Amino acid sequence: MPRLRPINEWTVSTFDDRPGLYILNDVIENYAQLKWLNRCLLEYPEPPNITNASVEGFYEGENVWRTVGNQKLRWVTLGNHYNWSSKEYEKRPRFSLPTELVEIARIFSKLLGLKEMKSDAAIVNYYPEKATLSPHVDRSERDHSCPLISISFGQSAVYLTGGPSLDDPVEALMLHSGDVLVMDGDQRLVYHAVPKIVKAKQFTEEERELAGVDKSILTYANSNRVNITIRQLEEKKLAEISLESCMCIRTHTYRGSSTKEKYSKRTFLRAWILSPVREHKTGCVLPGARSSSPTDPIRLDPPTHSGDY
């Protein structure tokens, strides 16, 4: 399992006008981000997992990413398959979600003091440089009481978060490689979108060698973005995660500065031009946004996990 940074180095960004929205900042080691990308490109798209290539019928074989190329591989479903036409999940999973995704979602939900997840579905989205994601709400899961956890790798993205209606205010945030976005409570069912990919990360040859991945993975990481969204479809009983001694995660809370406009899906995607983009990671915001300052740290109990995290 790719390695997480030491927990005492973690920070979490929260937003006082969007309770339930969290961003864990750059919590995965740089070389480990390349290991994750290696899985996303060479393991997760392989049969029997379902990709846009297999659904659209232009490729159903093995070695998917190397065969179809960066521009044509757009998504993979893992665990319980999501039908993009009916907007529904299958009643029964075809097979189990990869263990590393189940465990990492449990860790993140536990650390934030949220309902622990026992995930059974994930969608991997692939973003070439000019790709976008249309405004939508993730409402197909049968149980919305668990958070939705989204992990970013590769290049950065402008991320738009709105409300339950397209008429609600829209906020523009930056998501970087190694960031983990968590949507819970009222934020679980809001419109969100990605209008732009931003080149902001340059992985090194030294990191590639440490990760033990092919040079093609490094080339991909330095030009493209990958996002894994982990979900729990319905209520399940959970075993307890054992805990270590209490540790501290620094928290930055930001004041509201959403643009007060009404949006269709088209104008929703353009909202980042009107709304100041928050650079949450460094405790500051980009020009035009209101200033902010860190709150007192919150104390969380970290779970015990293997040395591979």
β pairing state of 277-278 and 171-175 = parallel
For 79-93, what is each residue's pLDDT tens digit?
876 665 665 666 666
Q: How far is CA 127 from the centre of its chain?
A: 13
Q: What is the CATH number of domain 7-237+251-290?
A: 2.60.120.590
Tell me, what's the pLDDT at 244? 40
Is position 176 annotated in a ligand binding site? no
Q: What is the pLDDT of residue 116?
A: 87
Report the C-alpha gap between 126 and 227 in whole angstroms. 7
| Domain definitions of the chain by residue range | 7-237+251-290
pLDDT tens string 221-264: 999 999 999 988 765 544 443 434 334 456 666 555 555 445 56
C-beta neighbour count of 291 within 10 angstroms = 9
Q: Is 6 exposed, middle or buried (0-12, 13-18, 19+ CB in 10 A)?
A: exposed
Q: 119 and 132 in contact (C-beta within 8 Å)? A: no
- Residue type for 217, please? I
Consult the annotation and say whether 252 binds a ligand: no
280 is in an annotated binding site: no
Task: Judge if pTM exceeds 0.75.
Answer: yes
Contact 17, 256 (CB under 8 A): yes
In the predicted structure, residue 283 carries a pLDDT above the cut 60 = no
Tell me how far apart the alpha carbons of residues 113 and 134 are, in angstroms, rounded to a whole number. Answer: 30
Using DSSP's 3-state secondary structure scheme, residue 212 falls into coil
